Amino acid sequence: MVDESGIMAFGRYAHIVGWGKAVPNRVVTNHELEQIVDTSDEWIRSRTGIQQRRIAVDPAETTATLAAKAAREALEVADIPASKVDMIIVATSSPEHTFPATACAVQDMIGAVNAGAFDLSAACSGFVYGLGVAKGLIASGQAENVLVIGAETLSRITDWSDRNTCVLFGDGAGAVLVQSSPVPGGILATEMGCDGSGGDLLILPAGGSKMPATLETVASGQHFIKMNGRAVYRFATRIMAEATRRVLSKANLTVDDIDLVIPHQANERIIAVSMRNLKLPEEKVFRNLQYYGNTSTASIPIALYEALEQDRIKPNDTIVMVGFGAGLTWAGTAIKWGVPTEKETSLWRASQRSASYGLAKARSQWLRLSHLLGSNLVTEDGESLAQALSNRLEDWRKQLESDEEEEEQRHDPKQEKPSLPNGASSSDES
């Protein structure tokens, strides 16, 4: 079987079945920025549309902790345990480290014991790139459940004395669980592009292998975001409409088929110009950048979450997500929404999951101890003591999951019927 994008799908469609969001508590308004740099609320609103942003002021709040929080919620909505996740993709431009990947920290935090994990670097286009990769993994039979997360703490790499950039960005994370299903629809097509000649227009110059950290790079602020705003603006206003048209054409759709566009939330003017080019009416364009600023690769999944929260998406709607970013990169995806958008999890189930995360944390700590101790402390069977304890914790967690499955079967008389995850029956699809 060949799907709309020409990929051999063999009846394996990739549906978004869970969604989550995490943003820091601290709100920073434009007025507060007036105290730090030579700017004004009026300038920021009129040039960007941004009114406030969230900033991770607590050092314990990192790209990985925000990502893990969003991921847990996405799993909750999808109603599957972390152990069923096959791959975790964290799209980010503010990873915790060059290596290990932030996705590995997320794997550990949520106890996704059967998952591979890697970071994806495509700047603000990263989340949509991640959806393209997830679709490929699912269509080719390599994965059933893929967590795609966009997560950033850009405030940590922002020069708070540079008014050209510091007014634009914010912190946050959004996550989706993409799941294999025989029901047609889901991610229909993706468009992923790049023009590397524009690499210098938006860049974090130092800290990589080309310009390793030195006293000079630190003193001259080379570890902060540098941007040619006007050039990026010109690129963005051209590529957003172009990428939308290309992905629609791959999915055999037209602009008229779109029910909702979720554009990268970088700048109100960029969104307005691009959507005007497409002749899309205002009510078909989702915006929330006034509350969060540009959260880079987290912006689209956070916007998707809020669009769902506000009932802007219904089953069978055609959704386009489109973004651009450093690289220069761009990406778009066309989605036929396939699952109910209202989700309920029982209290009992939620507490099971919470216990499971507690065990995952304890297991992680024992494993860390095990890595430190090596084989110094061993059981009578020659097994490392910490490894033995973590294995017991893993057994308990598995027991929790099988209890959960038994409970599910007791309460769900329809469970034998082939269905989309979350109960949408395959006959629901038109």
Which sequence positions are flagged as catalytic? 124, 264, 294
> Does 290 participate in binding ligand COA (rule CB under 6 A)?
no
For residue 384, what are the β-bridge partners? 378
> Does 294 participate in binding ligand COA (rule CB under 6 A)?
yes
Q: Which of 78, 148, 167, 313 binds ligand COA (CB under 6 A)?
A: 167
HSE (side-chain half, CA atoms, 13 Å) at 126? 29
Q: How far apart are the first and last CA of the chain?
A: 18
> Does 47 participate in binding ligand COA (rule CB under 6 A)?
yes
Q: Which of 217, 223, 233, 290 binds ligand COA (CB under 6 A)?
A: 233
> Does 230 participate in binding ligand COA (rule CB under 6 A)?
yes
Which of 269/343 has CB closer to ligand COA?
A: 269
> Does 45 participate in binding ligand COA (rule CB under 6 A)?
no
Name the residue number minimizing CB distance to ligand COA: 229
> Does 51 participate in binding ligand COA (rule CB under 6 A)?
no
Q: Which of 163, 238, 343, 361 binds ligand COA (CB under 6 A)?
A: 163
Which of 15/264 has CB closer to ligand COA?
A: 264
Binding-site residue total for ligand COA (CB under 6 A)?
19
- Residue 404 beta carbon to ligand COA: minimum distance, rounded to whole angstroms: 41
Residues 303-332 that bind ligand COA (CB under 6 A): 325
Stretch that binds ligand COA, among 2-10, 40-48, 54-62, 334-342 (CB under 6 A): 40-48
Which of 180/294 has CB closer to ligand COA?
A: 294
Which of 259/268 has CB closer to ligand COA?
A: 268
> Does 232 participate in binding ligand COA (rule CB under 6 A)?
yes
Residues 14-33 that bind ligand COA (CB under 6 A): none
**Beta-sheet pairing, 27-29 with 329-336:** unpaired
> Does 295 participate in binding ligand COA (rule CB under 6 A)?
no
- Residue 215 beta carbon to ligand COA: minimum distance, rounded to whole angstroms: 29
> Does 299 participate in binding ligand COA (rule CB under 6 A)?
no
> Does 279 participate in binding ligand COA (rule CB under 6 A)?
no
Report how far Cα 296 is from the mean position of its chain's Cα atoms: 10
- Residue 94 beta carbon to ligand COA: minimum distance, rounded to whole angstroms: 13
CA-CA-CA-CA torsion for 131, 237, 5, 312, nearest 10 degrees?
A: 60
Distance CA 406, CA 408 (A): 5
Which of 294/318 has CB closer to ligand COA?
A: 294
CB 156 within 8 A of CB 74: no
Q: What is the contact surface with ligand COA in residues (CB under 6 A)? A: 39, 43, 47-48, 124, 163-164, 167, 202, 227, 229-230, 232-233, 236, 266-267, 294, 325
